[in-house]
Structure 1
Amino acid sequence: MFFTPERTPLQEFLHPSSRLQYDAEFWKTVAKVAVAGAVLSAGTICCVRYLNSRYPGWYRLRGKKRGRLPPPRVGAPPLKQGEKGDAAQYVPLSTEKSHGARVVQLAVYPIKSCKEILVEAFHCGELGPELRTPFGTVHDRSWMVVTDKYHFLSQRRKPRMALIQPEIDGAFLVVNAPGMSPLRVPIQPDLSTAKVVTSDVWDHQISAVDCGDEAAEWFVTFLEEPGLRMVHHPHQFGGRGMLEMDQQVMKIDRELWEKKDKCTFADGAPYLLLSQESVSELSRHTDTPVPWIHFRPNILVGGCPPNNEDYWWRFRIGSAEFRNAKPCCRCVETTVDPKTGTFARKDVLETLKAYRTNQDPAVDDVLKFGPLFAINLGVDQTGPCSVGDVIIHLPD
């Protein structure tokens, strides 16, 4: 609006022709602001919808310290038949970090979903536990049984895999199972002649080497399913980053890991730690004691209150330093009896569901996939650890 010399600003404003021009300019500005607001709102809605579809629960994890969740909120275990009293009395969960805990057992699982190798020590590498030998390094879960489409196979579908026992014999990984001749697979395949394939773990692609027809026929025979193959992920391939996971649960887990965190064929963490006291507490509420191997940890500790490991944030074992990323959600694999290779212990999962299910709505999107038992770890400093090592807690 422009003022004329003949009229004062007030007169100019009050003049009918000026007022009409002012009104037009005013409503033009209002229209522009309204359009801009509508575009901004539509863009915000689209962004939120995209985040909700691709990263469920993203808004609930904002502001939480990257690399871990808050400690789980869980219920009390159920009373067994004939027991008296309040069920809540059975889980005096201590939130104080125990300073007397030690490593009581170490386990490496060279073949995903198969038996463990118990050891007195291993090297804590960036991809998980390592058994270093003069003939090469055996990495945790660096071999895997796959379908003809190279999709991973586990005890969830083939519980008989619990009977497959790997061993190290010089330069070979020797695989044994009831009624089968030993299968010998080289620890270090010749990558210049190896058949490199793309395998699949929870919809995430990872490069691997096909172990050949002899290994394939061995697993086909024992697991009674045609088309099975065995694959291996050499250390040179570099593992798969935790931030690259594509499966639904892994999308959420991306909030909890750091760029350096990697694993090979493990479901979703390079290390798993559990206390013997947590297992003993669980066994008090089942009719038959539950062996710790049902839960397949790499590190079994003792000398702490039950489930106290939930509150261990950063700690050192031997020369290695670890970070508690989140509780481990347990699945039907915990119901497989390691001695028989059958789904014979359904009570294990049912009991855990009764008192170790997440009850915190703020993280339900992350922890809704099963009861919580043991903790998934990221490694901040690699190095050796041994049975007997004391857990040394570090500043958060």
Structure 2
Amino acid sequence: MLELDKDKKILIGCLASSFLAYHTARQIYSYLTARSRQEWVPIGVVKSLHIYPIKSCKGVDLFAFKCTKTGPVMGELEDRAFLLVDGETGKFITARQKPKMVHVESRMENETLFIRIPDKPELAVDLKKVVENGKIIRATLFDNLQQDGFDCGDDAAKLLSDYIEEPNFRLIFYKEGLYTERTCIPDDDWWNTPVPKRKDDSGFTDLAPFLIATDASLKAVNEKLDNKVTMRNFRPSIYIEGCLPWDEDKWAEVRIGDAHLECFAPCTRCVFTTVDPEKGTMSKENQPLKKLREFRLAPEGKMRKAHKDSPVFGVYAGTVKEAYIHVGQTAYARYKPSVF
């Protein structure tokens, strides 16, 4: 009987020790996991930077730009400050309807917008005169959102209307102070994306003016495609190389130099990704969108209900701290507990 009592005590002691060891290990694991989420981890380097002055048109490749609250800015270049709309209804048009828009080039110099379309001389639009003329068009965006813009004049209207083979389309210029219901979501999927927002001391603000994509995720897609696509199919603001495929799904925050960005939502994709940036035509096979739908749909639940069959590629981010960034800089991230 004494031996049996002794064995029981030993057994209870072992169980208690095991429980204590397990509990301690869990505490240590939780601490290390939480700590790792708080630390900045190098994820890669900036491969390229891009601003798209006219929505749906060709981007401008840059060595550097400033991350601001309203998006990337470099000198006079501002992201998607110009929009092409129907002169009568105000309804906007994109490369979804007119894929050849991706061949419209633009640049800014001395408060002048220069527009070039294939096989035509460059057109200069004096934005000082555009603002002085004061002709405002109210544009109708996705979901009937409204935005005002200064009409950029008859010459720009004729050039672009003739090019897309549609009558009476007008180029408008959004300037701070004009009426807008548009949120600061980048990329040409912005009209179809639930608005990612962050809450600060003053309440909710519409802060998601950057789209970040990665070279590794692009390669992961191309491994599944017969006809490869390029980064330009996805039109990011910031393109990063050196990380693992789909690592961006887990980013909570990103730092590049002194710039601090906060990630808000995955970027869901539409038919625009099927527009060949070189040919200005849509893929007859509906690629890469069709392939992305096979393995990159949002998780079941609220996200799937919101995004349906729109697959995820890239991440939206907003500016916490403004600063210039440049190609070649190391990017750092803090991670979320789980993807998305």
TM-score range, shorter-chain basis? 0.7 to 0.9
- Which has the higher mean CA deviation after the structures are superposed, 364-373 or 148-157? 364-373
1:283 Cα deviation after fit = 0.5
> Which of 277-286 and 340-349 deviates more?
340-349
Residue 368 of structure 1 corresponds to 308
| Distance in structure 1 (CA, Å) of the matches to 2:228 and 2:127 | 36
Given residue 208 of structure 1, which amino acid in structure 2 is its aligned partner?
G
1:390 has 2:330 as partner: yes
Shift of 1:164: 0.8
Mapped pair 1:325 → 2:251: no
Q: Does 1:242 align with 2:187?
A: no
Instruction: Give the structure with higher Rg (CA).
Output: 1
Query: What is the CA distance between 1:124 and its match in structure 2?
Result: 1.0
Residue 83 (structure 1) aligns with: none
Partner of 1:60: none
SS at match of 2:266: strand
1:301 aligns with 2:240: yes
Give the residue type in structure 2 aligned to 1:337.
Answer: D
TM-score by length of 1: 0.67
Aligned to 2:206: 261
The aligned counterpart of 1:218 is 159
TM-score by length of 2: 0.78
- Specify whether residues 359 and 190 from structure 1 end up closer, same or farther in structure 2 by C-alpha distance, changes over 3 A only: closer
| Amino-acid identity (%) | 28
Q: What letter corresponds to residue 144 of structure 1 in structure 2?
A: L
Q: Distance in 2 between matches of 1:298 and 1:251?
A: 18
Deviations 1:90-123 (A, max 9, x none): xxxxxx9862411110000000000010000001
Q: Which runs of structure 2 are paired with 1:142-291 in the superposition (5 Å)? A: 142-148=81-87, 149-189=89-129, 191-202=131-142, 203-237=144-178, 240=181, 242=183, 253-254=194-195, 256-258=197-199, 259-262=204-207, 269-291=208-230
- Structure with the largest fraction of strand: 2
SS of the residue 2:114 aligns to: strand
1:368 CA displacement: 1.8
Superposition pairs of residues 17-32 of structure 1, within 5 angstroms: none
1:312 and 2:262 equivalent?
Answer: no
1:138 alignment counterpart: 77
- Offset of residue 192 of structure 1: 3.7
For structure 1, which segment, 148-157 or 96-105, has the greater mean C-alpha deviation from structure 2 after superposition?
96-105
Structure-2 change in CA distance of 1:252 and 1:177 (3 Å)? closer
Change (3 A) 1:239 1:386: farther
* Residue aligning to 1:113: 56
Gaps of 5+ in 1: 1-95, 263-268
Q: How much has 1:366 moved relative to structure 2?
A: 2.5
Unaligned stretches of 5+ residues in structure 2: 1-38
SS of 2:314's equivalent? strand
Q: What count of residue pairs does the alignment treat as equivalent?
A: 287
What SS is found at the alignment partner of 1:161? helix
